[in-house]
Amino acid sequence: MSRRSKGPEGLDALREKIIGLGERSFRKSYYPKLRQQLMDLGRAEELVRETARRQQAILDSIPDMAWMKDSEGRYIAANDAYGKAAAMNPADIAGKTDLDIWPANLAKKIMADDREVMRTGKRMIIEESLRDRQGNVKWYETIKTAIFSVTGLVSGTTGIARDITRRKQMEETIKYQAHHDLLTGLANKALLMDHLRLELAQMRRLRKRLAVCFLDLDRFKNINDAFGHAEGDLLLKEVAGRLLSCLRDIDTIGRFGGDEFTILLPLVERPDDALKTAEKIMGVLKKPFVIGAHEIDVTASIGISVFPDDGENPEALLKNADAAMYYAKNQGRNNYQFFNSALNMRTLERVLFENRLRRAVEQGELVVHYQPQVNMKTKLIIGAEALARWSHPELGLLAPAMFIPLAEEIGLITRIDQWVMQTACAQLRQWQSAGYPLRFVTVNLSARQFEQPNLAERVSEILLETSLSPSCLGIEITETLAMRDTDLAIRNLSSLGGLGVWFSIDDFGTGYSSLSRLKKLPIHKLKIDKSFVFDLPVDPDRQAIIDAIIAMAHILKLAVVAEGVETEAQMSFLSSKECDEAQGNFCGRPVTAKEFGSLMAAGK
């Protein structure tokens, strides 16, 4: 560092004075004194320069901008980093004020801060954004400190300014990530809830309405399963884009994860105004989405709640929009529904009912009834179908249609079905021990059971526990389930077949089965659905269908059971068509185990 420090001006003046004095009174006696004085002065001067050089070296070793100013705001020294920022040679900065270096506005601000530091003598830390000479916004963290003289007065300031633009950008990114859904760039739940709170406060003040739309894509899981998650993600992005195109600037849209989007529509005049947006959304989704090589059709179900009509606070509005969305799904998807209190009642009832059903299972309120299955030729009872009933303390005996669908939906069906199976197996074993000629009992298994990885083990445990021969247990499955070719379903079907239990296809004729596939499964019987039996033998079309089903089943070596046989005429018609077995009110309604036992005892 060879820059010459100007040093304090006083020293130069003193030197002039001493030399002048020396010349005027150049007498031998003064000479040594004068020389001494000059030498002292030289040393002092050197010391000052040395200090300045050290000071400069320290400043230059700081990677951030660093400087020192005197009490007038004039720069004493500045480092390389400062020079770079000011686009000046650092040596030229010394002696200048901020007004000489920076644009007036900035200079005034810097000087005001300096004055504040000098006035208070306190350290000041400022975080501020400034525009650099190229016009880029930069963030700085500046620390300014007062310099005190020996007398204790503030004689200047010193400062360091660090470029924290990168840190700020990272903070911004983190803030963005905390408030946005990274896949679609839409607001996330936290941000949307914030907006909703703010908007509601404003709507309350303005006495205006706000609509909350809850949108869920229909069967998105299938799309994900069929095309993979990467394509599913691309689709969500595209959907987000189309949804945005339906909204006004003042609307907010967020993704709550998965395929759920929430839209806030402030300042709606009447509740029906939200309808227009919903219509628009249904409209833009109509065009197929082209994702990679695929064209994908997407529909959505939308639920709408309106402030203040359907709720006063964010939680109530979201909950009610969600309930309305579920209602839309139940209405067959691809539509929108407004929340209304009737809907609310239904949800409430559902929740109560759901809790009640859980309790019923735990407290043993379910019972099994048995319906005879009769051999067509001998007219003897050869087996029974186990059918669940809920013996409700207030409502009486409830049919499965009242609770099985809900049990399936909430996952309670697994417990129910296993319990029914266990009870029916134990019951049949008991009847067999009593000497009744019952060959089998059949149980209904819901499709959901076939997604259970340990189904076969569970069934085999039940058979062991009840010491029932596997061939005495028949499992009734629907056609749709038999056609399901997920790995787990196939594995479960064949391991159950391996155990020696057999299957009947229940409600046959109401689904779409492929005969070739049916043949590959361990199926023993087809149960013709009661809707085909109902108008027999009057309707000739029905007759033809029954004829065909029986003939086809026999070719496939399957026995045929007719369900819902209610009259003697039906019975004899089916018998003439070589139907193997019958089940229906004509042969016996479903009854309690005790009643069934008496029935058997009477026939024995």
Q: Which residues bind ligand C2E (CB under 6 A)?
A: 371, 387-388, 399-401, 404, 413, 417, 420, 444-446, 476, 506-507, 530, 563-566, 584-585, 590
Cis upstream peptide for 470 (omega within 30°): no
Provide the minimum distance between the beta carbon of 527 and Mg ion in the complex, in angstroms, as a whole number: 6
Sheet with 124-131: list strands edge to edge. 75-78, 65-70, 154-163, 137-148, 124-131
Closest by Cα among 443, 451, 442 to 411:
451
Residue with tokens 């109902």: 534
- Nearest-10 crossing angle of helices 9-24, 31-60: 160
Of all residues in the shown chain, the one whose CB is closest to Mg ion is 476
19: helix, strand or coil: helix
Closest by Cα among 322, 206, 320 to 267:
206
Provide the minimum distance between the beta carbon of 524 and Mg ion in the complex, in angstroms, as a whole number: 14
- Nearest-10 crossing angle of helices 189-206, 314-330: 110
Q: DSSP alpha helices (H): ranges in 61-86?
A: 80-86
Positive or negative torsion for Cα 563, 569, 573, 579: positive
User: CB-wise, 83 or 474, nearer to ligand C2E?
Assistant: 474
| Of positions 98, 507, 580, 581, contacts Mg ion by CB under 5 A | 507
User: CB-wise, 65 or 387, nearer to ligand C2E?
Assistant: 387
Would you count residue 476 as binding Mg ion (CB under 5 A)? Answer: yes
Partners of 254 in beta bridges: 187, 262
Please, are residues 253 and 244 in contact by the beta-carbon 8 Å criterion? yes
User: CB-wise, 263 or 561, nearer to Mg ion?
Assistant: 561
Provide the minimum distance between the beta carbon of 514 and ligand C2E in the complex, in angstroms, as a whole number: 21
Interaction partner, residue 417 (Mg ion, ligand C2E, none; CB < 5-8 Å by kind): ligand C2E
Interaction partner, residue 580 (Mg ion, ligand C2E, none; CB < 5-8 Å by kind): none
Partners of 261 in beta bridges: 215, 255
Report how many residues bind Mg ion under the rule CB under 5 A: 5
Provide the minimum distance between the beta carbon of 568 and ligand C2E in the complex, in angstroms, as a whole number: 12
Would you count residue 444 as binding Mg ion (CB under 5 A)? Answer: yes
Interaction partner, residue 293 (Mg ion, ligand C2E, none; CB < 5-8 Å by kind): none
Would you count residue 506 as binding Mg ion (CB under 5 A)? Answer: yes
User: CB-wise, 563 or 580, nearer to ligand C2E?
Assistant: 563
Provide the minimum distance between the beta carbon of 565 and ligand C2E in the complex, in angstroms, as a whole number: 6
Q: Contacts with Mg ion in 454-473 (CB under 5 A)?
A: none
Interaction partner, residue 98 (Mg ion, ligand C2E, none; CB < 5-8 Å by kind): none
Closest by Cα among 323, 333, 187 to 264:
187
Please, are residues 497 and 477 in contact by the beta-carbon 8 Å criterion? no
Interaction partner, residue 120 (Mg ion, ligand C2E, none; CB < 5-8 Å by kind): none
**CB neighbours of residue 46 within 10 Å:** 11
Would you count residue 114 as binding Mg ion (CB under 5 A)? Answer: no
Provide the minimum distance between the beta carbon of 489 and Mg ion in the complex, in angstroms, as a whole number: 18
The alpha carbons of the chain give a radius of gyration, in whole angstroms, of: 44
**β-bridge pairing 336-338 and 300-307:** parallel
Interaction partner, residue 564 (ligand C2E, Mg ion, none; CB < 5-8 Å by kind): ligand C2E
User: CB-wise, 253 or 438, nearer to ligand C2E?
Assistant: 438
User: CB-wise, 101 or 536, nearer to ligand C2E?
Assistant: 536
Can you tell me the distance from the alpha carbon of 450 to that of 414, in angstroms, rounded to the nearest whole number? Answer: 10
Can you tell me the distance from the alpha carbon of 288 to that of 242, in angstroms, rounded to the nearest whole number? Answer: 12
Stretch that binds Mg ion, among 8-16, 47-55, 368-376, 501-509 (CB under 5 A): 501-509
76: helix, strand or coil: strand
Provide the minimum distance between the beta carbon of 301 and ligand C2E in the complex, in angstroms, as a whole number: 26
Contact positions toward Mg ion, by CB under 5 A? Answer: 444, 476, 506-507, 563
